[in-house]
Structure 1
Amino acid sequence: MASLIRQRREALESRFGTWPAWSLHDLVDHAAEAHPDRAVVIDDDDALTYSQMRARSRELAAGFLALGVRAGDHVGVLLPNDRQHVAVRVALSRVGATTVSLNYLYRAQELAFVLRDSGCRLLVTASGFRDLDHLAMLDEVAPGWTGGNPRSLPDLRKVVQHGVDHPERTGVPNLDDVAALGRETPPDPAVAARKVPADSVSDILYTSGTTGKPKGIKLTHDNILRAAYASAYCRAFEDGRRMTSALPLYHIFAWTEGLVASMFVGGTLITQRTFTVESTLAAISTHRASDWICVPTMAVAVLDDPAAAETDSSSLRSMMCAAAPAPRWLWDKARATFSLTELVTAYGSTELAGSVTLTQPEDPIERVVHTVGRIKHGGVAGLDGGPLARLKVTDPLTGEDLPEGAVGELRWRGPTVTPGRWSRGDDAAPTEEWLASGDLGRIRDDGYVELVGRSKEVYKSGGELVMPSEVEQLLTQQPGVSQAFVVGVPDERWGEIGWAWIVPEPGATVDVPAVIEACREKLARFKVPKQVEIVTVEQLPQTTTGKVQRHLIVEQIKTSRESSAT
């Protein structure tokens, strides 16, 4: 396998001898020239080829210009996973505008906050998503929006709709109207000749809010394209790789690691509007996906379903499962169920434009289970043709550098690091010289990174620091345990106590006393959870990207304790 992977990397290197200073639409145009009839994206309803994507995005770009959108303007994109979502963002790249990616599960006040904070001049929105009526939300938070310049959102000049799940609003232009306007508008030669700088801000992505109010992170075209190419290079993408994912495209994981990375090899992203086991298995069997990108909660749901073993998965070779730790049994079961030969995990963040470390497809399973990989080799996208980033480990309290092998906060610098947070009225909020990740880990002797947890997740019980990931790793090794989440809960005697939520395997019964006894045998006394609670997957508070919101677990436990005390 190592020889084949090396050949695939060499083939990718031969396509790009030097790093092209491209914006997103330049990459699309490059792929459209080489592979005009290949699908770039397949959604629940249809597909767009690279040539169709180029044509559609050019029409939309001309239409957006006719509506008054200009380079540097912020444009909100509130669209589900579909081909029009991709076309809109490629079109905005052509204009030189900045996409503000919006979570389609926002409620009214959340939507209003981000629109106001980001200063969006145009909003491209689905009419709704499932039971959420986005146009009704605008009625609530921005009365008069159909006429432009709503008082509550003074920056917003225009709204364009895309009919999804709810009726469109009469008198409000839709995406087909914008494309028609683009076809009817004579092209401006000056605009057509202007090159969008690769270092211009292409996206502002608002964090998922696992710990509080979302914040906008700026990313440039070059940030994202370098991160995507490095993933394609490290994972040794073959020509025309077909990837499937239900992760939302407004999130950096699906956008960089799925869509943009696949474009470097003329590949295809098979996206699902919502995650279900059935849609994931259909994408694999019907559309012949060769690669599956997911988070552990998605992988558990699919692998625990008996239908997975009955699905024709002969095309599937690879799986990338990241964003949270995955237990050993999950990797073993994925390999056994789908006969996978390339299993990888990764570490990254919005601020890093995607993943910055990766295990390699040829790595032994032990590295996939116990590490988040090594710094990605960026090839032509890396630092001097080498690593994509630099990493150092520092004391989380003092910021001082720590010796090799020590556990501390991971700090990064390199060409994929955000130029800064979006700050209303001050678009120059810079990133510090070394980006403080808030994640705790260490660099092993072999260069691979072991992630210990978030600095905010570490708690102190009886004066001793406890890292939840260490306890969770032991818990998931116990009979019948599928997933485990340990949090620190305030306690008058101990300061904080460890409280474990355990999700059993389907049909299994977890012996709680036996689990606690196993912890006592293998962990220091202060690390042993004081409480172990059995919960269902449905009880886990999650973001739309499948990340478990630990702060909400703590809040639920506190509320339950208060109710029991009264």
Structure 2
Amino acid sequence: MPDGLHTLGRWTRDRARATPERVAIDDRGVALTYRELDARAERLADAFRVAGYAIGDRIASITGNSADHVVLFFACAKAGLTLVPLSWRLAPRELAEQLEIAEPALLLVEDEFESLAKATSGRLARRIPNAPLGAHGVEAEVPAPAGPVGREAAAVRADVALRRDVADDDALLIIFTSGTTARAKGAVLTHLNCFWTNLSLSRIAEIRATDTVLAVLPQYHVGGWNIQPLLAWWTGATVVLERTFDPGRVLHLIEDRRITTMMGVPANYLFLAQHPDFAGTDLSSLEHAIVGGAPMPPALLRTWHARGVALSQGYGLTEASPNVLCLPDEDARTHAGSAGRPYPHVDVAVADPVTGEHLDSEAEGELLVHGPSVFAGYHRDPVATGAALVDGWLRTGDLVRRDDDGYYTIVDRIKDIYISGGEGVAPAEVEAVLMAHPAVADVAVVGVPDERWGESGVAWVVLQRGRLTDAAELIEFASASLARYKVPRRVHVIDELPRSTAGKVLRRALVDRDASGRELSSEATVPEPSDRDASKDEVRR
């Protein structure tokens, strides 16, 4: 068994000893030092053990970015528990499905999302104990874990937990990710996975103790932890947490807090560049920023370069913790359009998507990833795990091409998932919802280019004979069961979906179709957010 030296619960302890009074977190103007962060996390970890939580138990959360959530993360790391951060953007149906898969011992909820949690709990087959986050919630009193754990059993579990140290290969996070099927999948990331991906990131985008990091990615994403925040807490930097992405506020924070680095998806940087305050904001402190989630348009890259900001672009996926390829700022000018070269400590290969045979270096094929940051598998889903991991290599589902200099270009997505505003959307899930409508006989959902979101969904619908409906009704129907970013922006009706001889929908043909497809209605679109709401829509839509 690994020796535990790579477990993340050590990080706050080490920082509390080295720089106890340095600010670790600035949460909406409230500072938490490394001494305070470590002390709260230690107390909560001890409380979990005493209450009968054992190593490997899962703690689910529904919360926005907050210092309380960070305390919970490090408490779980210290106690050997697995944090399962769930997206507050999801509908109760979606959250209930993920909770049924995760089987957490406890659900912790921020006050703002209490009604969402209540609606979700009503859909569960078994009761999950829940409590509020924070000093006045779970940190004041830890409920007994789910299941038939009486006082004596809890004492036994607590004794075992105290005698068994947390190991490097213990699960630290379960992050739910979109798949090619409608069923949600929880990617299990171990302490060792997170250690290595942060070490790898530090070799490309170093964070110093003197840095001030702006964190805008939601903490239910792997990027909300493993792209900058955790590395910052490892090295002793300060992290300014933001709950939502508001371009005007972000520009103000960069200037006011002297932000030195940040991470976002291309839509974040687009909204910032389009904001009326962009030209007049002092960006001199912002030495470096990271872009991920989707390719960065060259024109937008030039806009930021003109303001003196260096931008490193990254390609990754949750199952790789997530860092795989990186295009540093100096390379973006000479290799525009490339996803970059592998991060340190990450091995990649190109394989035939059908046979799995590894191909010559310059051949086009599926990108495979190998290394210590590759995930442990999908929680309670051995079939999906076996399909994703082949002889230790992670299949990305992305078709790539490698050039003579070792830079990889993403050619196409083998999987059907599309990326909208940095969020992965599985067409199968959206199709399953639309198929439940009584007027729908067949449906295919595809991602198409979108200037604002990178990609957005379009639904192609075949109606039941003799049944009528309109796009507004279908969009409203989907909205009741799906997060907003998953709801198709346009709906078209056709007589028959194009299919291959094997019966598979020819999605590329749908993407390439022009406007000759008969629309259900001239109003067959999801309305764009208002100017006021659009600034927040990156994380709320």
Q: Give the TM-score, by structure 2 length.
A: 0.72
- Match of 1:175? 138
- Match of 1:62? 46
Q: 1:365 aligns with which of 320, 330, 333?
A: 333
1:363-402 per-position Cα deviation (integer Å, ceiling 9, x unaligned): 35233x321221112xxxxxxxxxx122111122232222
Cα 1:176–1:416 shift into 2, 3 Å:
closer
Q: 1:556 aligned to 2:514? A: no
Cα 1:440–1:244 shift into 2, 3 Å:
same
- Match of 1:127? 111
**Secondary structure of 1:313 counterpart:** coil
Q: Which amino acid aligns with 1:111?
A: L
Cα 1:283–1:214 shift into 2, 3 Å:
farther
1:469-522 per-position Cα deviation (integer Å, ceiling 9, x unaligned): 9xxxxxxxxxxxxxxxxx9xxxxxxxx9999655389xxxxxxxxxxxxxxxxx
- Match of 1:443? 402
- Match of 1:343? 311
Q: 1:220 aligns with which of 173, 187, 190?
A: 190
Q: 1:420 aligns with which of 377, 380, 400?
A: 377
**Secondary structure of 2:491 counterpart:** helix
How does 1:192-211 map onto structure 2 within 5 Å?
A: 194-208=164-178
Deviation at 1:122, TM superposition (A): 0.7
Cα 1:108–1:314 shift into 2, 3 Å:
same
Between the aligned partners of 1:24 and 1:350, the Cα distance in structure 2 is 18
1:332-388 per-position Cα deviation (integer Å, ceiling 9, x unaligned): 111223x21x32001111100121221235435233x321221112xxxxxxxxxx1
Q: Which amino acid aligns with 1:134?
A: L
Deviation at 1:195, TM superposition (A): 2.5
**Secondary structure of 2:331 counterpart:** coil
Q: 1:275 aligned to 2:245? A: yes
Deviation at 1:189, TM superposition (A): 8.7
Contact 2:25–2:240 (CA under 8 A) maintained in structure 1: yes
Contact 1:439–1:451 (CA under 8 A) maintained in structure 2: yes
Cα 1:407–1:180 shift into 2, 3 Å:
closer
How does 1:255-270 map onto structure 2 within 5 Å?
A: 255-270=225-240
Between the aligned partners of 2:356 and 2:221, the Cα distance in structure 1 is 29
Deviation at 1:88, TM superposition (A): 0.4
Q: 1:94 aligned to 2:78? A: yes
How does 1:253-402 map onto structure 2 within 5 Å?
A: 253-337=223-307, 339-340=308-309, 342-367=310-335, 369-377=336-344, 388-402=345-359
Deviation at 1:136, TM superposition (A): 3.0
Q: 1:137 aligns with which of 111, 119, 130?
A: 119
Cα 1:139–1:456 shift into 2, 3 Å:
closer
Deviation at 1:320, TM superposition (A): 0.5
Cα 1:88–1:176 shift into 2, 3 Å:
same
RMSD: 3.7
Between the aligned partners of 1:324 and 1:547, the Cα distance in structure 2 is 19
Deviation at 1:259, TM superposition (A): 1.1
Cα 1:426–1:64 shift into 2, 3 Å:
farther
Contact 2:314–2:323 (CA under 8 A) maintained in structure 1: yes
Q: 2:20 aligns with which of 25, 32, 36?
A: 36
Deviation at 1:318, TM superposition (A): 0.6
Contact 2:4–2:168 (CA under 8 A) maintained in structure 1: no
1:280-334 per-position Cα deviation (integer Å, ceiling 9, x unaligned): 1132122211012000011101111121122222211111111101111111111
1:47-100 per-position Cα deviation (integer Å, ceiling 9, x unaligned): 221111100101111222233221111111222101011100110111111111
Q: Which amino acid aligns with 1:174?
A: G
Between the aligned partners of 1:359 and 1:345, the Cα distance in structure 2 is 5
Number of residues paired by the alignment? 436
Between the aligned partners of 1:27 and 1:547, the Cα distance in structure 2 is 37
Q: Which amino acid aligns with 2:8?
A: L
Deviation at 1:208, TM superposition (A): 4.4
Q: Which amino acid aligns with 1:373?
A: G
Q: 2:201 aligns with which of 220, 226, 231?
A: 231
Between the aligned partners of 1:43 and 1:190, the Cα distance in structure 2 is 35
Cα 1:500–1:439 shift into 2, 3 Å:
closer
How does 1:41-56 map onto structure 2 within 5 Å?
A: 41-56=25-40
Cα 1:107–1:128 shift into 2, 3 Å:
farther
- Match of 1:105? 89
Deviation at 1:193, TM superposition (A): 6.4
Between the aligned partners of 1:88 and 1:497, the Cα distance in structure 2 is 38
Between the aligned partners of 1:59 and 1:268, the Cα distance in structure 2 is 22
Between the aligned partners of 1:501 and 1:356, the Cα distance in structure 2 is 24
Between the aligned partners of 1:237 and 1:276, the Cα distance in structure 2 is 24
Q: 1:456 aligns with which of 415, 423, 430?
A: 415
Q: 2:367 aligns with which of 400, 407, 410?
A: 410
Q: Which amino acid aligns with 2:168?
A: A
**Secondary structure of 1:453 counterpart:** strand
Cα 1:548–1:402 shift into 2, 3 Å:
farther
Between the aligned partners of 1:222 and 1:266, the Cα distance in structure 2 is 20
Cα 1:428–1:65 shift into 2, 3 Å:
farther
Deviation at 1:108, TM superposition (A): 1.3
Q: Which amino acid aligns with 1:398?
A: T
Instruction: Point out where structure 1 has 5 or more consecutive residues left out of the alignment.
Output: 1-18, 143-151, 165-172, 378-387, 459-467, 470-486, 488-495, 506-540
Between the aligned partners of 2:13 and 2:292, the Cα distance in structure 1 is 30
**Secondary structure of 2:389 counterpart:** coil
Amino-acid identity (%)? 27
- Match of 1:524? none
Contact 1:42–1:82 (CA under 8 A) maintained in structure 2: no
Deviation at 1:269, TM superposition (A): 2.0
Deviation at 1:116, TM superposition (A): 1.0
Between the aligned partners of 2:4 and 2:338, the Cα distance in structure 1 is 32
Between the aligned partners of 1:116 and 1:500, the Cα distance in structure 2 is 32
- Match of 1:114? 98
Q: Which amino acid aligns with 2:390?
A: E
1:134-172 per-position Cα deviation (integer Å, ceiling 9, x unaligned): 343245335xxxxxxxxx225x2x2111389xxxxxxxx
Between the aligned partners of 2:368 and 2:491, the Cα distance in structure 1 is 32
